[in-house]
Structure 1
Amino acid sequence: MEWPVATLSPSEKYNLITDCVVPRPIAWVSSIDAAGKINIAPFSYFNIVSSDPMIVSLSVNRRMANEGENEQKDTALNLQQTGDCVIHIPSHDHAPAVHATGSGIPPSQEQIDALGLQFSPSQQVKTPRLENCGVALEGRFLQQIAIGNPVVADLILVEIVHIYAADDLLHKGRVHPEPYAINANKRN
């Protein structure tokens, strides 16, 4: 079967590309705004760009605003304003909280508290990391690329400056989170 992309609806395009590009890991990204308020949100459009320098990409879709313009989501704004984030690789145990933080409601300390999320200071960035997440990549904002006309997403490049991995994910000096991590193609 073949699909001329120009003939597909937005939902058909989404289903087809997400079915083809597998597996897609879930990034659970914490960031802070200019006032220091923590935001955490999941992203399935996340991957490695380069290993030296160590760069990853996040694609943050925009949301429709009241005026009909697409506006940036909190993670994209926070990265541009404060310059850093922590990208976590969530486990299957985190799935309910990951789903809840992707609900689109404004970030709040009440949501973080209700989900039982605990944060610890990071080593190289201002944004804190989740305490009970097995992998955390501390990163600094590198570049943002607006996608589409009108803009529908922000492709963000993040340089990783520090990595945390739980001891139970180490085997022969290497990190092995695959059985632990959730990805967008598994129905959790």
Structure 2
Amino acid sequence: MTLSRVSGALILHYLTPIPRHVPPLRTPRTALTLHRRRDLTTTTTIAAAASTAKMSEKEIKRNPHPDFKKVEASRPDWDADQRFNYKKTADPSWTFGGGANGLQTPEAAAARHVSIDPYEAGRPAPFNYKLLISAIVPRPVGFVSTMSASRRDGKEDGAEGLNLAPFSYFNMVNHDPPLFVLGVASPLERPKDTLRNLLETRECVVNIISEHFVEAANATSVDAPAGVSEWAISGLTPAFDCVDTRAPRVREAVFAVECRLESVREFESRATPGKKTGCMVVLEGTRFWVREDAVNDERNLVAPEVLRPISRLGGITYGRVTEALELPRPVFERDVGGMEGYEKLKERRKERDDSNS
């Protein structure tokens, strides 16, 4: 492992190549603990890490409903019969250079945009968080299972040392090698359970949340004290059959990926210099798990009607995928008309701009 800084951020690089079949880690816990302490000491020396005050739910006001159960009771029941289906695009006759389709009203098109400085004086810290999670949507949710070093080394049993948590700062960033990014809102000096376990064991399982266990997955976000098992709170089933990791996958998940830690990058607040606000974790997938009724014969496509993934929106809102549209990727020569067609589009654009000026 090496340590470097990029624009004031600390990066921990795990440079040892990950073989195709990774054996379980068997490093003694004492060695792992010393290894981590050395990393954190270096972190403190280089960046003078400060403690991070965790934003409370009262500050964030994520839940806008004083009585959520009352509000929920007024809503229609879950439509279990709603099936995934395809629709036409809003404008099947759209042509290149056509701009936005007709869904936007004239009033919406004429509305002006406002500029927001994320660090303007008097702007409360939770505002950027609330704004971004409501605008960068829908977000896939990485449902991460980890195991503590002590559990891995046989010093704990049952549900002890197992952690399960959802992260909506999550996405895939590469396929060869399979790489995933995870955003964790805690510093290296005071890591959340998932981050601490990743630093100690360098392994996890990322599960994708489906409709049939969304309530259980959400339950794992509870602010439980240390030592409380999210597996017991959620009622989900740990499957200890992973090949490359000791951490269990979620048995109910249609799709899951065994992962090893590739790198960690810590970030410092721009509003409060010296304060560490979070980490970006890069994970490399070493093995995929998919339910047999969800994958095709070539094992290269997962059926959305079986996966039925859940996404994250703003506040306490989740989204389900029930409708989709398809759009072929265009070919420049065939569909645009090559450079000749492109020049015609440019001329049409100029004429339109001139008429609007």
- The TM tier, using the shorter chain, reads 0.7 to 0.9
Task: Report percent identity of matched pairs.
Answer: 27
Aligned partners of 1:71, 1:87: CA distance in 2, in Å? 22
TM-score by length of 1: 0.87
TM-score by length of 2: 0.48
Q: Contact conserved, 1:56 with 1:157, CA < 8 A, in 2?
A: yes
Aligned to 1:54: 178
Query: In structure 1, the residue corresponding to 2:200 is in which secondary structure?
Result: helix
Q: Contact conserved, 2:220 with 2:233, CA < 8 A, in 1?
A: no
Aligned to 1:17: 132
Aligned to 2:119: 6
Q: Deviations over 1:124-154 (max 9, x none)?
A: 1111111111011100011111111411111
Aligned partners of 1:35, 1:22: CA distance in 2, in Å? 37
Cα shift at 1:177: 3.9
Structure 1 residue 132 corresponds to structure 2 residue 252:
yes
Relative to its length, the structure with more helix (as a share) is 2
Structure 1 residue 90 corresponds to structure 2 residue 203:
no
Structure 1 residue 76 corresponds to structure 2 residue 195:
yes
Distance 1:30 1:107, change over 3 A: farther
Aligned partners of 2:244, 2:199: CA distance in 1, in Å? 17
Q: Choose which of 307, 310, 326 in structure 2 pairs with 1:182.
A: 310
Where does the alignment leave 5 or more consecutive residues of structure 1 unmatched? 64-68
Structure 1 residue 43 corresponds to structure 2 residue 164:
no
Q: Which has the larger radius of gyration?
A: 2
Distance 1:82 1:110, change over 3 A: closer
Aligned to 1:118: 237
Query: In structure 2, the residue corresponding to 1:18 is in which secondary structure?
Result: helix
Cα shift at 1:171: 4.3
Relative to its length, the structure with more strand (as a share) is 1
Cα shift at 1:6: 2.2
Amino acid at match of 1:128: P
RMSD of equivalent CA atoms: 2.3
Q: Choose which of 258, 264, 268 in structure 2 pairs with 1:144.
A: 264
Aligned to 1:154: 279
Where does the alignment leave 5 or more consecutive residues of structure 2 unmatched? 1-112, 152-160, 269-273, 319-357
Higher relative contact order (CA 8 A, sep 6+): 1
